[in-house]
Structure 1
Amino acid sequence: MRAGRPADCLESAHMVTPSIADIFRARLLQKPYLSPTPLASYPLLDRSTGMSVLVKHENLQPTGAFKVRGGITLLGGMDPRERARGVVGYSTGNHAQSLAYAAARFGAPCTIVMPQDSNPVKTAAVRRLGADLVEFGATFDEARVHAEELAVARGMRLVSAGDEPDLIAGVATAYLEIFEQEPELDVVVVPVGGGSGAAAACLVASVVRPECRVVAVQSRRSPAAHDSWHAGRCLRRPNETGAEGLATGSGFELPQSLMRKYLADFVLVDDEEIRAAQWALIRDARTVAEAAGAAPLAALPALRESVGGGRVAVVVSGGNVSEAELRACVRASVSEGGAVA
């Protein structure tokens, strides 16, 4: 952290805003490893939401989440000597899988710190990919501090979960695909934990489709990114959501700076609304989404008036659902009706 910056701003030592050229370079780095994901419409989903909805299926990535785009870009673009030292990451799961997947592809040592009692689907995947998994602390923020210590002790490159230009450039390729698949899109709704996805969406939309509004969504039980954006500075907030992909307790300066410049709106949803949206995606789009991946759909009722008759894309950022989460979602659908609207 740079001297003189507020303690609530989580920041890496390499704060450079990525450009559209960086995003195209990221696409070239990804090409041997990743394929475009579908942007699909579902009549039943349109009917249940009362909107024209397109679903971006990042749940179909090799790791089950959009973060893999960033991992491939970062590891693929590293100096070989730095890559040989290895990387240390901290995550609630999808960022962890991204780094582990990319490290395996490029032959780099990889250590991942995840909170204890993390999603078992994600921890098992990290281990299968060959990373050294360290489970530490009860929250994302406690895992982050331990990762910082391990990176120093092991002489490895710490990879921030938010303040990494290469990660933002990497995940931005998803939004290039979205606008290629639907050039006349009016709104994109993006889930936010650290904010790399929303920042990436903002960067791409500002260049290729400035008329498109980018809207971010986070859980009301972990509102650090939301509150940081509204306040215009990084803040710390309680981190209590069950949606691990949205569970951060502090804002990250790089994505926040991009969101402050370009983001149209930032809304909060309840965990119960997210659970209903998970069921709606299963019922109406035959899509299994983890909680963070369903959050954009959960935000649509709050956006209905501003969206009007426009075309809206919701980014299903991941599909790494634990058995317990899936069972809870189905039980809730029976007792609550599973409605999004």
Structure 2
Amino acid sequence: MAAADPTFDDVRRAADVVALELPATPLQSHPLLDLAVGAAVLVKHEHVLPTGSFKVRGGVHLASTLTAAERAHGLITCSTGNHAQSVAYGARLAGVRATIVMPSSAPAVKRDAVAALGAEVVVAGATLGEAAAEARVLAASTGGSFICPTDRRIVLGHATAYLELFGQEPDLVAVFVPIGSGTGAAGACLARDALAPGCRIVGVQSAAAPAGWRSWSTGEIQTAPATTRASGLATTTGYPLPQRILRDRLDEFVLVSDDAIDDAARLLATRAHTLAEGAGAAALAGLLSPRSSVRPGQFGGPVAVMCTGANASADEIARLGEPLVVSVPAA
């Protein structure tokens, strides 16, 4: 029998587990960033967590809920990097084996980080979709347990970031959330519905990897090429569980260019003293996008952007020194 979709009560229980291992992350304002955006914006600094990403929350919750078979035969998953580190971190907590299949496009720094956490890294395929197919074959041939990046336990772990967020600032008008597989946005909607029903949740995805946006827009799971430079957003398919949660709850879904994501990363670096990878900067890119109905200066209350990860590749770091394309006021 399939497990029921997550509820807010499930999120609260997950939060109790995650809080035993991970500290709360800061929710901060940055005056220089406010000046650049033209309004007050709060940044949720999830990138300061172990592994440098909010996704470690999923691995910590997973570690507490492993079945006997998962403990005996080990975990197998696929990822471009942050989910990989999350499962590796959780497996190390639980004392079980983990094998992570990563596409050749995954940044070397992320592959190295996964190996440093004690997991075995297998490089297969050029895309996340191809790596996922190999991971499932490997699980079937070895008896290992395949952990989908949108496993219910993972979604619940990710949702704890938003329970924490609304506890820190219950009067948010909007929260901008990057979307790859959609687990973070799904968690945001679960927490929002219970704690801040008037708050808008705005999903942000790279236009160069629009599978999640297409799935949400059509109501059916869609695939699409992923050519984005932001590896954390490079998913090639929508995922059923997050899409079911997002279907009637997500208020808005914005596509942004990779150049806009790079500009947002430069703003976070220069105006908020924050190193963000592409996926971590996407939320701010969504706020700055003219496609969003939530416009700076017209909020009527505080707005938050999720800085979800700091695992920037060498190429991403190099691009931080390039000129901004967007026009912002002088500091």
Query: Under TM normalisation by the shorter chain, which class is it?
Result: over 0.9
Matches within 5 A, 1:253-292: 253-292=240-279
Provide structure 2 residue ranges, at least 5 long, that are not aligned to the other structure.
none
1:329 — aligned with what?
320
Matches within 5 A, 1:236-247: 236-247=223-234
Q: Distance in 2 between matches of 1:263 and 1:155?
A: 37
Instruction: Letter of the 1:316 partner, please give it.
Output: C
Instruction: Letter of the 1:242 partner, please give it.
Output: R
Q: Distance in 2 between matches of 1:157 and 1:87?
A: 5
Q: TM-score, normalised by structure 1?
A: 0.92
Q: Does 1:124 align with 2:112?
A: yes
Give 1:79 deviation, angstroms: 2.6
Q: Distance in 1 between matches of 2:110 and 2:89?
A: 12
Give the secondary-structure state (helix, strand or coil) at the position aligned to 1:262.
coil
Give the secondary-structure state (helix, strand or coil) at the position aligned to 1:138.
coil
> Which 10-residue stretch deviates more, 90-99 or 316-325?
316-325
Given that 1:217 and 1:267 are in contact with CA atoms closer than 8 Å, whether structure 2 keeps it comes out as: yes
Instruction: Letter of the 1:142 partner, please give it.
Output: E
Given that 2:177 and 2:202 are in contact with CA atoms closer than 8 Å, whether structure 1 keeps it comes out as: yes
Give 1:32 deviation, angstroms: 2.5
Give 1:196 deviation, angstroms: 0.2
Cα distance change, pair 213–340 in 1 and its aligned pair in 2 (3 A): farther
1:4 — aligned with what?
none
1:249 — aligned with what?
236
Give the secondary-structure state (helix, strand or coil) at the position aligned to 2:317.
helix
Q: Distance in 1 between matches of 2:294 and 2:212?
A: 24
Give 1:81 deviation, angstroms: 4.3
Instruction: Letter of the 1:36 partner, please give it.
Output: A
Provide structure 1 residue ranges, at least 5 long, that are not aligned to the other structure.
1-12
Q: Deviations over 1:3-29 (max 9, x none)?
A: xxxxxxxxxx84531111211111122
Cα distance change, pair 39–82 in 1 and its aligned pair in 2 (3 A): same
Given that 2:80 and 2:105 are in contact with CA atoms closer than 8 Å, whether structure 1 keeps it comes out as: no
Give the secondary-structure state (helix, strand or coil) at the position aligned to 2:64.
helix
Q: Distance in 2 between matches of 1:79 and 1:140?
A: 26
Q: Distance in 1 between matches of 2:211 and 2:294?
A: 26
Q: Distance in 1 between matches of 2:277 and 2:295?
A: 26
Give the secondary-structure state (helix, strand or coil) at the position aligned to 1:255.
helix
Q: Distance in 1 between matches of 2:93 and 2:129?
A: 28
* Alignment equivalent of 1:99, drawn from 74, 87, 109: 87
Q: TM-score, normalised by structure 2?
A: 0.95
Q: Does 1:210 align with 2:197?
A: yes
* Alignment equivalent of 2:309, drawn from 306, 313, 318: 318
Identity rate of aligned residues, in percent?
Answer: 44
Give the secondary-structure state (helix, strand or coil) at the position aligned to 1:203.
helix
1:53 — aligned with what?
41
Matches within 5 A, 1:61-72: 61-72=49-60
> Which 10-residue stretch deviates more, 24-33 or 202-211?
24-33
Q: Does 1:158 align with 2:149?
A: no
Q: Distance in 1 between matches of 2:2 and 2:54?
A: 22
